[in-house]
Amino acid sequence: MGSGKCMTLLTLLAVLGMVMVDKVGSQNYGDALSKCILLFEGQRSGKLPSNQRMIWRKDSALRDGSDLGMDLLGGYYDAGDNVKFNFPMAFSTTMLAWSVIELGQFMGPDLQHALDSIRWGADYLLKSTDLPGKVTAAVGNPIADHNCWERPEDMDTPRTSYVVNQTHPGSEVSAETAAAIAASSLVFKSAQHRYSIQLVNRAKEVFEFADKFRGNYKDSVGQGVCPFYCDWGSYSYMDELIWGAAWLFKVTKEQKYRDYVQNNISNLPRRVIRLLNGELQAAKSFAEFGWDAKDAGINVLVSGLVMNSTSAEPYVRRQVRLQRLA
Protein backbone atom coordinates (compact mmCIF):
# COMPACT_ATOMS: atom_id res chain seq x y z
CA MET A 1 0.00 0.00 0.00
CA GLY A 2 1.55 3.33 -1.08
CA SER A 3 1.60 6.42 1.08
CA GLY A 4 -0.36 8.29 -1.62
CA LYS A 5 -3.62 6.67 -0.66
CA CYS A 6 -2.97 7.40 3.00
CA MET A 7 -2.34 11.09 2.29
CA THR A 8 -5.57 11.40 0.33
CA LEU A 9 -7.52 9.96 3.22
CA LEU A 10 -5.89 12.37 5.66
CA THR A 11 -6.70 15.37 3.46
CA LEU A 12 -10.30 14.27 3.11
CA LEU A 13 -10.63 13.87 6.89
CA ALA A 14 -9.10 17.29 7.52
CA VAL A 15 -11.68 18.88 5.23
CA LEU A 16 -14.52 16.93 6.85
CA GLY A 17 -13.23 18.03 10.27
CA MET A 18 -13.38 21.70 9.27
CA VAL A 19 -16.93 21.32 7.95
CA MET A 20 -18.00 19.64 11.18
CA VAL A 21 -16.50 22.25 13.52
CA ASP A 22 -18.82 24.72 11.79
CA LYS A 23 -21.88 22.69 12.79
CA VAL A 24 -21.15 22.23 16.51
CA GLY A 25 -23.61 24.54 18.16
CA SER A 26 -26.69 22.63 19.13
CA GLN A 27 -26.24 20.53 22.26
CA ASN A 28 -28.37 17.47 21.77
CA TYR A 29 -26.84 15.13 24.35
CA GLY A 30 -29.43 12.39 23.74
CA ASP A 31 -28.38 12.28 20.09
CA ALA A 32 -24.71 12.28 21.12
CA LEU A 33 -25.28 9.32 23.45
CA SER A 34 -27.17 7.38 20.75
CA LYS A 35 -24.24 7.93 18.40
CA CYS A 36 -21.80 6.73 21.08
CA ILE A 37 -23.60 3.39 21.03
CA LEU A 38 -23.77 3.43 17.22
CA LEU A 39 -19.99 3.95 17.14
CA PHE A 40 -19.47 0.43 18.47
CA GLU A 41 -21.12 -0.95 15.31
CA GLY A 42 -18.66 1.00 13.19
CA GLN A 43 -15.77 -0.57 15.11
CA ARG A 44 -16.96 -4.16 14.65
CA SER A 45 -14.48 -6.70 13.35
CA GLY A 46 -15.31 -10.08 11.82
CA LYS A 47 -18.46 -11.29 10.12
CA LEU A 48 -21.12 -8.60 10.37
CA PRO A 49 -24.77 -9.47 11.08
CA SER A 50 -27.68 -8.59 8.78
CA ASN A 51 -29.01 -5.95 11.21
CA GLN A 52 -25.71 -3.98 11.03
CA ARG A 53 -26.75 -0.30 10.92
CA MET A 54 -23.54 1.15 9.48
CA ILE A 55 -23.98 -0.57 6.16
CA TRP A 56 -20.79 0.85 4.61
CA ARG A 57 -18.87 -1.50 6.92
CA LYS A 58 -18.33 -5.03 5.57
CA ASP A 59 -16.83 -8.30 6.84
CA SER A 60 -13.13 -8.08 7.73
CA ALA A 61 -10.33 -9.98 9.50
CA LEU A 62 -12.01 -13.32 8.89
CA ARG A 63 -8.88 -15.35 9.64
CA ASP A 64 -8.00 -13.74 13.00
CA GLY A 65 -6.58 -16.36 15.39
CA SER A 66 -5.70 -18.82 12.61
CA ASP A 67 -1.96 -18.32 13.29
CA LEU A 68 -2.52 -20.04 16.66
CA GLY A 69 -5.27 -22.42 15.58
CA MET A 70 -7.84 -20.28 17.44
CA ASP A 71 -11.08 -18.65 16.33
CA LEU A 72 -10.63 -14.99 17.24
CA LEU A 73 -13.19 -13.53 14.83
CA GLY A 74 -15.22 -10.62 16.10
CA GLY A 75 -14.57 -8.00 18.75
CA TYR A 76 -13.83 -4.34 18.14
CA TYR A 77 -11.09 -2.45 16.40
CA ASP A 78 -9.30 -0.05 18.69
CA ALA A 79 -9.71 3.48 17.30
CA GLY A 80 -8.65 4.75 13.89
CA ASP A 81 -6.52 1.62 13.56
CA ASN A 82 -7.37 -2.01 12.91
CA VAL A 83 -5.72 -3.65 15.92
CA LYS A 84 -7.88 -5.48 18.42
CA PHE A 85 -6.39 -4.52 21.81
CA ASN A 86 -8.16 -6.75 24.33
CA PHE A 87 -7.31 -4.73 27.45
CA PRO A 88 -9.11 -1.48 26.56
CA MET A 89 -11.73 -3.48 24.62
CA ALA A 90 -12.57 -5.48 27.76
CA PHE A 91 -12.72 -2.25 29.80
CA SER A 92 -15.16 -0.73 27.27
CA THR A 93 -17.30 -3.86 27.53
CA THR A 94 -17.26 -3.67 31.34
CA MET A 95 -18.35 -0.01 31.16
CA LEU A 96 -21.13 -0.68 28.64
CA ALA A 97 -22.40 -3.48 30.88
CA TRP A 98 -22.19 -1.32 34.02
CA SER A 99 -24.10 1.46 32.21
CA VAL A 100 -26.88 -0.94 31.26
CA ILE A 101 -27.01 -2.45 34.77
CA GLU A 102 -27.40 1.01 36.35
CA LEU A 103 -29.19 3.01 33.65
CA GLY A 104 -30.56 0.56 31.07
CA GLN A 105 -34.14 1.37 32.03
CA PHE A 106 -33.63 4.94 30.79
CA MET A 107 -32.08 4.01 27.44
CA GLY A 108 -35.33 3.67 25.48
CA PRO A 109 -34.83 2.24 21.97
CA ASP A 110 -31.05 2.37 22.44
CA LEU A 111 -31.18 -0.31 25.13
CA GLN A 112 -31.34 -3.10 22.54
CA HIS A 113 -28.39 -1.59 20.64
CA ALA A 114 -26.41 -1.34 23.90
CA LEU A 115 -27.20 -4.99 24.64
CA ASP A 116 -26.04 -5.96 21.14
CA SER A 117 -22.78 -4.04 21.74
CA ILE A 118 -22.16 -5.85 25.02
CA ARG A 119 -22.90 -9.21 23.42
CA TRP A 120 -20.50 -8.44 20.54
CA GLY A 121 -17.73 -7.75 23.06
CA ALA A 122 -18.59 -10.65 25.39
CA ASP A 123 -18.73 -13.19 22.52
CA TYR A 124 -15.23 -12.18 21.44
CA LEU A 125 -13.91 -12.25 25.02
CA LEU A 126 -15.28 -15.79 25.39
CA LYS A 127 -13.32 -16.80 22.27
CA SER A 128 -10.26 -14.99 23.65
CA THR A 129 -10.36 -17.16 26.79
CA ASP A 130 -11.51 -20.40 25.19
CA LEU A 131 -8.25 -22.28 25.85
CA PRO A 132 -7.67 -22.84 29.59
CA GLY A 133 -4.53 -21.09 30.85
CA LYS A 134 -4.43 -18.62 27.95
CA VAL A 135 -5.90 -15.15 27.43
CA THR A 136 -5.68 -13.24 24.17
CA ALA A 137 -4.04 -9.84 24.63
CA ALA A 138 -4.26 -8.42 21.09
CA VAL A 139 -4.71 -9.33 17.44
CA GLY A 140 -2.89 -7.48 14.65
CA ASN A 141 0.73 -6.34 14.58
CA PRO A 142 0.37 -2.75 15.85
CA ILE A 143 3.57 -1.36 14.32
CA ALA A 144 2.74 -2.60 10.82
CA ASP A 145 -0.88 -1.53 11.26
CA HIS A 146 -0.01 1.99 12.41
CA ASN A 147 2.38 2.44 9.50
CA CYS A 148 -0.48 2.53 7.07
CA TRP A 149 -4.03 3.64 7.43
CA GLU A 150 -6.16 1.15 5.53
CA ARG A 151 -9.79 0.30 5.98
CA PRO A 152 -10.15 -3.07 7.71
CA GLU A 153 -11.94 -4.54 4.69
CA ASP A 154 -8.73 -4.07 2.63
CA MET A 155 -5.97 -4.51 5.20
CA ASP A 156 -2.94 -6.58 4.29
CA THR A 157 -0.79 -6.13 7.42
CA PRO A 158 0.05 -9.18 9.61
CA ARG A 159 -2.77 -10.26 11.89
CA THR A 160 -0.49 -11.66 14.57
CA SER A 161 -2.23 -13.00 17.69
CA TYR A 162 -0.63 -12.11 21.06
CA VAL A 163 -1.60 -14.40 23.93
CA VAL A 164 -0.58 -14.49 27.61
CA ASN A 165 -0.23 -17.83 29.37
CA GLN A 166 1.06 -19.39 32.58
CA THR A 167 4.75 -18.79 31.86
CA HIS A 168 4.18 -15.42 30.16
CA PRO A 169 1.31 -13.98 32.23
CA GLY A 170 -0.69 -10.76 31.98
CA SER A 171 -2.79 -10.11 35.08
CA GLU A 172 -4.14 -6.73 33.95
CA VAL A 173 -5.58 -7.93 30.63
CA SER A 174 -6.80 -11.18 32.22
CA ALA A 175 -8.47 -9.58 35.26
CA GLU A 176 -10.12 -6.87 33.13
CA THR A 177 -11.39 -9.61 30.81
CA ALA A 178 -12.81 -11.43 33.86
CA ALA A 179 -14.48 -8.17 34.97
CA ALA A 180 -16.02 -7.63 31.53
CA ILE A 181 -17.34 -11.19 31.29
CA ALA A 182 -18.73 -11.05 34.86
CA ALA A 183 -20.44 -7.69 34.28
CA SER A 184 -21.92 -8.99 30.99
CA SER A 185 -23.31 -12.05 32.77
CA LEU A 186 -25.36 -9.75 35.00
CA VAL A 187 -26.76 -7.93 31.97
CA PHE A 188 -28.03 -11.19 30.40
CA LYS A 189 -29.06 -12.86 33.67
CA SER A 190 -32.81 -12.95 33.08
CA ALA A 191 -33.15 -12.72 29.28
CA GLN A 192 -30.46 -15.26 28.32
CA HIS A 193 -29.94 -17.39 31.37
CA ARG A 194 -27.76 -20.13 29.88
CA TYR A 195 -25.47 -17.63 28.22
CA SER A 196 -25.25 -15.76 31.51
CA ILE A 197 -24.19 -18.92 33.39
CA GLN A 198 -21.56 -19.63 30.74
CA LEU A 199 -20.21 -16.10 31.26
CA VAL A 200 -20.10 -16.39 35.09
CA ASN A 201 -18.22 -19.68 34.95
CA ARG A 202 -15.70 -18.30 32.46
CA ALA A 203 -15.21 -15.12 34.50
CA LYS A 204 -14.31 -17.19 37.58
CA GLU A 205 -11.77 -19.28 35.64
CA VAL A 206 -10.18 -16.26 34.01
CA PHE A 207 -9.94 -14.40 37.32
CA GLU A 208 -8.24 -17.39 38.91
CA PHE A 209 -5.73 -17.48 36.06
CA ALA A 210 -5.12 -13.73 36.41
CA ASP A 211 -4.50 -14.02 40.16
CA LYS A 212 -2.49 -17.23 40.20
CA PHE A 213 -0.13 -16.33 37.38
CA ARG A 214 0.77 -12.77 38.12
CA GLY A 215 2.65 -10.45 35.85
CA ASN A 216 2.51 -7.43 33.58
CA TYR A 217 1.59 -8.26 30.02
CA LYS A 218 4.16 -5.81 28.73
CA ASP A 219 6.81 -8.31 29.91
CA SER A 220 5.05 -11.16 28.10
CA VAL A 221 3.82 -9.82 24.77
CA GLY A 222 5.91 -6.62 24.60
CA GLN A 223 5.50 -4.82 21.32
CA GLY A 224 2.17 -6.53 20.68
CA VAL A 225 0.68 -4.03 23.15
CA CYS A 226 3.41 -1.56 24.07
CA PRO A 227 3.72 1.39 24.18
CA PHE A 228 0.09 1.69 23.09
CA TYR A 229 -1.78 0.06 25.96
CA CYS A 230 0.87 -0.82 28.55
CA ASP A 231 -0.03 -0.74 32.19
CA TRP A 232 3.32 0.63 33.44
CA GLY A 233 4.77 0.22 36.92
CA SER A 234 5.27 -2.74 39.24
CA TYR A 235 2.05 -4.29 40.55
CA SER A 236 0.17 -2.05 38.12
CA TYR A 237 -2.19 -5.00 37.62
CA MET A 238 -3.29 -4.94 41.28
CA ASP A 239 -6.18 -2.54 40.58
CA GLU A 240 -7.53 -4.79 37.80
CA LEU A 241 -7.34 -7.82 40.13
CA ILE A 242 -9.35 -5.99 42.80
CA TRP A 243 -11.76 -4.59 40.22
CA GLY A 244 -12.25 -8.12 38.82
CA ALA A 245 -12.84 -9.53 42.31
CA ALA A 246 -15.34 -6.73 43.09
CA TRP A 247 -17.30 -7.57 39.92
CA LEU A 248 -17.24 -11.27 40.74
CA PHE A 249 -18.50 -10.47 44.24
CA LYS A 250 -21.32 -8.35 42.80
CA VAL A 251 -22.30 -11.19 40.45
CA THR A 252 -21.80 -14.29 42.62
CA LYS A 253 -22.08 -12.87 46.19
CA GLU A 254 -19.35 -15.36 47.12
CA GLN A 255 -17.54 -14.25 50.26
CA LYS A 256 -14.11 -15.20 48.90
CA TYR A 257 -14.27 -12.37 46.36
CA ARG A 258 -15.22 -9.87 49.01
CA ASP A 259 -12.34 -11.12 51.17
CA TYR A 260 -10.05 -10.69 48.19
CA VAL A 261 -11.06 -7.04 47.83
CA GLN A 262 -10.79 -6.39 51.55
CA ASN A 263 -7.44 -8.16 52.01
CA ASN A 264 -5.66 -6.77 48.98
CA ILE A 265 -6.93 -3.24 48.62
CA SER A 266 -4.24 -1.79 50.87
CA ASN A 267 -1.58 -3.19 48.51
CA LEU A 268 -2.70 -0.96 45.64
CA PRO A 269 0.06 1.20 44.19
CA ARG A 270 -0.97 4.82 44.77
CA ARG A 271 0.41 6.06 41.50
CA VAL A 272 -0.24 5.32 37.88
CA ILE A 273 2.70 5.60 35.51
CA ARG A 274 2.16 6.83 31.99
CA LEU A 275 4.16 7.42 28.86
CA LEU A 276 3.77 11.16 28.14
CA ASN A 277 5.72 12.76 25.30
CA GLY A 278 8.10 9.82 25.28
CA GLU A 279 8.79 9.92 29.04
CA LEU A 280 7.37 7.85 31.88
CA GLN A 281 5.58 10.06 34.39
CA ALA A 282 3.83 9.24 37.65
CA ALA A 283 0.44 10.61 38.64
CA LYS A 284 -1.84 10.07 41.62
CA SER A 285 -4.41 7.40 40.97
CA PHE A 286 -6.91 7.82 43.84
CA ALA A 287 -9.52 9.87 41.99
CA GLU A 288 -8.87 8.41 38.55
CA PHE A 289 -10.88 6.04 36.45
CA GLY A 290 -9.88 4.79 33.02
CA TRP A 291 -8.61 1.74 31.15
CA ASP A 292 -5.35 1.59 33.15
CA ALA A 293 -6.46 3.05 36.52
CA LYS A 294 -9.47 1.59 38.30
CA ASP A 295 -9.25 3.12 41.81
CA ALA A 296 -12.23 5.49 41.69
CA GLY A 297 -14.33 2.89 39.86
CA ILE A 298 -13.53 0.32 42.55
CA ASN A 299 -14.74 2.71 45.25
CA VAL A 300 -18.02 3.48 43.47
CA LEU A 301 -18.67 -0.20 42.71
CA VAL A 302 -17.73 -1.40 46.20
CA SER A 303 -19.76 1.29 47.98
CA GLY A 304 -22.94 -0.15 46.46
CA LEU A 305 -21.99 -3.63 47.65
CA VAL A 306 -21.16 -2.79 51.27
CA MET A 307 -23.63 0.03 51.87
CA ASN A 308 -25.37 -1.68 54.79
CA SER A 309 -22.53 -3.70 56.20
CA THR A 310 -20.99 -2.92 59.56
CA SER A 311 -17.61 -4.60 58.99
CA ALA A 312 -14.52 -2.68 57.94
CA GLU A 313 -15.00 -0.84 54.67
CA PRO A 314 -12.93 -2.14 51.76
CA TYR A 315 -12.21 1.18 50.09
CA VAL A 316 -9.23 2.52 48.25
CA ARG A 317 -7.96 5.25 50.52
CA ARG A 318 -6.26 8.48 49.74
CA GLN A 319 -2.74 8.23 51.06
CA VAL A 320 -2.56 10.14 54.33
CA ARG A 321 0.71 10.69 56.17
CA LEU A 322 0.32 10.99 59.92
CA GLN A 323 2.78 13.42 61.45
CA ARG A 324 3.60 13.45 65.11
CA LEU A 325 3.26 16.98 66.39
CA ALA A 326 6.34 18.12 68.25
223 lies in the binding site for ligand NAG (CB under 6 A): no
Nearest residue (CB) to ligand NAG, 122 versus 137: 137
Whether 213 and 173 have beta carbons less than 8 Å apart is answered as no
* Spatial separation of the C-alpha atoms in residues 296 and 238, rounded to whole Å: 14
| Other beta carbons less than 10 A from residue 53's beta carbon | 10
Q: Is 312 in the site for ligand NAG (CB under 6 A)?
A: no
The total of other beta-carbon atoms located within 10 Å of residue 79's CB is: 11
| Site for ligand NAG contains 259 (CB under 6 A) | yes
Least distance to ligand NAG, CB of residue 266, Å: 9
Q: If you write DSSP's letter for every residue of 251-312 in order, what string do you get?
A: HH--HHHHHHHHHHGGG--SEEEEEETTEEEEEE-TT--BTTB-HHHHHHHHHHHHTT--S-
Residues touching ligand NAG: how many (CB under 6 A)?
12
Q: Is 308 in the site for ligand NAG (CB under 6 A)?
A: yes
Give Cα separations from 217 to 231, 300, 312 (angstroms): 8, 27, 33
What is the spatial distance between Cα 207 and Cα 205, in angstroms, rounded to a whole number? 5
Instruction: Give the x-and-dash track for 147-176 against ligand NAG (CB under 6 A).
Output: ------------------xxxx--------
307 lies in the site for ligand NAG, by CB under 6 A: yes
Please say which residue, 166 or 223, places its beta carbon nearer to ligand NAG.
166
- Interacting residue with ligand NAG among 260, 291, 292, 295 (CB under 6 A): 260
CB of 165 to ligand NAG, least distance (A): 4
Based on the shown chain and the rule CB under 6 A, indicate whether residue 222 belongs to the binding site for ligand NAG.
Answer: no
Q: Distance (Å, rounded) from C-alpha 56 to C-alpha 34? A: 19
Out of 5, 253, 304, 318, point to the residue binding ligand NAG (CB under 6 A).
Answer: 304
- Contacts with ligand NAG by CB under 6 A lie at 165-168, 259-260, 263-264, 267, 304, 307-308
